[in-house]
Amino acid sequence: MRRLMISAMSSGSGKTVVTCGLLALLKKRGYHVRSVKCGPDYIDPMFHSRVLGVEGENADLFLMGEKRVREIFCGNPDNTDEGEKRVREVLSGNPDHTDGRVAEEESFCEVCVSADHTDERIGEQSYVLAEGAMGFYDGIGGTADNSAWDIADRTDTPVLLVIRSKGQSLSLAAQVRGFLDFRKPSHIIGVILTDCHPSLYAHLKPILERETGLTVFGYLPAMAEAEIPSRHLGLVTADEISDLRNRFEKIAAQMEKTVDVEGLLMHFRDGTREEDAAEPEASDFCGGDSGNKCDVPVGCAWNDGATSGIAVGNGFASKHECTVSDGVCHCRVAVARDEAFCFYYAESLRALREAGAEPVFFSPVHDKCLPDDISGLYLGGGYPELYAGELSENREMLAEIREAVNAKMPLIAECGGFLYLQKYLQDESGTVHEMAGAFSGTGRTTGHLVRFGYLYMTALQDSLLFRKGEVIPAHEFHHWDTDDNGRDLEAVRARGGQSWQCAYVSESMYAGFPHISLGGEVPLAERFVERMKEFSCSV
């Protein structure tokens, strides 16, 4: 698998624009290409997916473990299965919705279909283009751990450094030299300049190449299409920009003129290192017991092949039937996905499918009821504070959610989903709206990031996802907080220091601000699906 990483000296250098532009260009040429975002970012993979029709994945050493990250970069056969096809269908629009909300994305489906196209120039070879997070060496707690460099080093991936070029000349070469020497090997193979006038590029290119020994592969001039607005958690989401595909087609066309794409293709790293074939040693990023394997096989047999059972007596019998085919029980999990709830790792959805669950997407903003035949509920993060009024007005959905929680339907609610389950939620204007009321708190803006960063959570008791004493890696980033955060897990910053209690857990629930990966080394997806089957398949 051929791979290349796009990184930068700092955020705001144009990594996402260059990544999406290059992906669009490679897709246009017919290459089979995948995208990866280093770190826990939810938003940038949406841009990769919405614009280009390829599944935007995350690679995070802390949350997922080194083995899985290597698989993503150096070879992952799971990415050609039905799970990827389903994710592409979801990214193209919710097939359960037939209204006009997905009509504007219909053209995206055509791109998704073409994602399986291969070009005779490369045969069956896949290309992976990764986008780093923050600055190249920015990792956990002022270290390079879990940085873009760390991932490049562990996967032997070459790196193209994106540099916003204004206001410097020879000093720019000094900074690049510093990046080359800061860690050995740096894996940096070249530079691309952004927001750069042609005359400035003609001036800088020979200086940088002479002083650093790197190839300057080209530049992008200032373009209106490259300006993507931001809000408190980063860029606005891809769904909020109606002309994204057209924007990046224009950027790709510009790159054809001003970037040596053929030269870049020659620098994609091919194959795997010998050590990639071996099990990596236990890593500091491994939150739980890496030897703790789930004893429930994927697609486990259930009820000896009997007809589907329906849990009764809780008012939700029509909502959680379990279908049995070929002696295998398949359960459906309702996943909130709309403009208010859109933060999900592709890795988590993949893990749920592999464990035997079928994600069924619904909209808490627009739909009046939960999907039929579900036996689990997944409320991800997003921006519910921006749509608090619409969510509050949808009384029918709020009632359904409350009923599901009271019925002890297996539930995962992270960050924005956790805010949705509170009694009240304040919107951007300060108005307070009634929410689902599963918890007694009120979500309010703080005006700043709260408990931002990586953390470890220690389970104080057995529950739906966790076992007592188990340590789970997680991540928090939010500007809204509540006065009812829960206290069932003990959290501590990844590099020590601050600790606090967080979240609600029970045999049917995980609800809290920390985001988790269901595809990490602790079998969280398997445990969730196992409980779903117990909920729905017992008579």
Is residue 391 within 8 A of residue 431, CB to CB? The reply is no
Examine the pLDDT at 315 and tell me if it is beyond 50: no
Closest CA to 355 of 202, 522, 492, 190: 522
pTM listed for this prediction: 0.75
Closest CA to 60 of 518, 406, 524, 376: 518
Is residue 274 left, alpha or beta, with left meaning phi > 0 and alpha meaning psi from -120 to 50?
A: alpha
Packing angle, helices 170-182 and 198-212, rounded to 10: 40
The rounded distance, in Å, linking the Cα atoms of 292 and 287 is: 12
Name the CATH superfamily housing domain 303-537: Class I glutamine amidotransferase (GATase) domain (3.40.50.880)
Is residue 229 within 8 A of residue 194, CB to CB? The reply is no
Identify the weakest region by mean pLDDT among 59-63, 81-85, 514-518.
Answer: 81-85
Amino acid residing at 465? L
Residue 120 has what pLDDT? 37
What are 479-491's pLDDT values in tens digits? 888 888 889 999 9
Residues forming CATH 3.40.50.300 domain(s) in the chain:
2-272
- How does residue 202 score in pLDDT terms, banded at 50, 70 and 90? very high
Number of H helices, E strands in the chain: 16, 26
One-character DSSP codes across 457-505: EEESS--SS--TT-EEEEEE--SEEES--B-SEEEEETTSS-EEEEBEE
Strand partners, 457: 472, 491
Q: What is the mean pLDDT of the chain?
A: 79
Residue 11 has what pLDDT? 87
Identify the weakest region by mean pLDDT among 175-179, 224-228, 262-266, 287-291.
Answer: 287-291
Is residue 323 within 8 A of residue 330, CB to CB? The reply is yes
Examine the pLDDT at 508 and tell me if it is beyond 50: yes
Higher-confidence residue: 289 or 452? 452
Residues forming CATH 3.40.50.880 domain(s) in the chain:
303-537
What are 457-469's pLDDT values in tens digits? 999 999 999 999 9
Percent of the chain surpassing pLDDT 90: 52
Closest CA to 328 of 311, 303, 353, 365: 303
CATH level 3 topology of 2-272? Rossmann fold (3.40.50)
Q: Distance between alpha carbon 89 and the CA centroid of its chain, in Å?
A: 17
The rounded distance, in Å, linking the Cα atoms of 357 and 354 is: 7
Is residue 441 within 8 A of residue 422, CB to CB? The reply is yes
Measured from the Cβ of residue 102, the count of other Cβ atoms closer than 10 Å reads: 16
Higher-confidence residue: 335 or 114? 335
What are 117-171's pLDDT values in tens digits? 333 333 446 789 999 999 999 998 889 999 999 999 999 999 999 999 888 899 9
Examine the pLDDT at 259 and tell me if it is beyond 80: yes
Closest CA to 219 of 11, 38, 17, 27: 17
Identify the weakest region by mean pLDDT among 93-102, 263-272, 335-344, 370-379.
Answer: 93-102
Residue 107 has what pLDDT? 30
